[in-house]
A and B are shown apart, each in its own frame.
Chain A
Amino acid sequence: MATIIIPTPLRKFTNNTARLNVQADTIAKTVDELTLNFPDLKKHLLDDNGNIRSFVNIFVGNDDIRNLENGDTVVKADTVISIVPAIAGGNF
Chain B
Amino acid sequence: MSTQVTFSSEELARYNRHIIIPEFGLAGQQKLKAAKVLVVGSGGLGSPVLLYLAAAGIGTIGIVDFDVVDDSNLQRQVLFGVNEIGKAKVEAAKERLQALNPHIELVMYNTQLTSQNALDIIKGYDVVADGTDNFPTRYLVNDACVLLGKPNVYASIFQFEGQVSVFNYKHANGEFGPNYRDLYPTPPPPGLVPSCAEGGVLGVLPGIIGSLQALEVIKVVTGVGEPLVGRFYIFDALSFESRTFNISRRDDNPLNGRNPTITRLIDYEQFCGVKAIEKPVKEITPKELYELQVKGEPFQLIDVREPYEYEIVNIGAELIPLATVAEQADKINKDQPVIVHCKMGGRSAKAIRELEEKYGFTNLYNLKGGIIAYIDEVKPELAKY
Which residues of A are interface residues toward B (Cβ below 8 A)? 7-9, 18, 43-44, 53-55, 57, 59, 62-64, 66-67, 82, 84-92
| Interfacial chain A residues near B131, Cβ < 8 Å | 90-91
A40 to B238, CA, bound (A): 23
Q: Are B188 and A55 in contact (CB under 8 A)?
A: yes
Please name the residue on chain B nearest to A40 by beta carbon.
Answer: B323
Name B154-200 residues within 8 Å CB distance of A. 155-161, 163, 183-188, 192-194, 196-197, 199
Interchain residue pairs with CB less than 8 A apart (14): A8-B161, A8-B238, A54-B186, A55-B187, A57-B245, A67-B246, A82-B234, A86-B156, A88-B138, A88-B158, A89-B196, A89-B201, A91-B46, A91-B132
Chain A CB within 8 A of B143 CB:
no
Q: Are B44 and A89 in contact (CB under 8 A)?
A: yes
Could you say which of B67, B183, B188, B238 has the most chain A C-beta atoms within 10 Å of its C-beta? B188
Could you say which of A63, A86, A90 has the most chain B C-beta atoms within 10 Å of its C-beta? A90
> How close is A60's CB to chain B, nearest CB, in angstroms?
10
**CB contacts between A and B, total, < 8 Å:** 116
> How close is B140's CB to chain A, nearest CB, in angstroms?
12
Q: Are A86 and B184 in contact (CB under 8 A)?
A: yes
A64 to B232, CA, bound (A): 10
| Interfacial chain B residues near A90, Cβ < 8 Å | 41, 43-46, 130-133, 155-157, 206
| Interfacial chain B residues near A55, Cβ < 8 Å | 184-188
Q: Which of A53, A64, A67, A92 contacts B188 (CB 8 A)?
A: A53
Chain A CB within 8 A of B328 CB:
no
A9-B194, A90-B156 known; A18+B199 contact, CB < 8 A: no
A84 to B185, CA, bound (A): 14
Chain A CB within 8 A of B244 CB:
yes
Q: Are B238 and A86 in contact (CB under 8 A)?
A: no
A59 to B243, CA, bound (A): 10
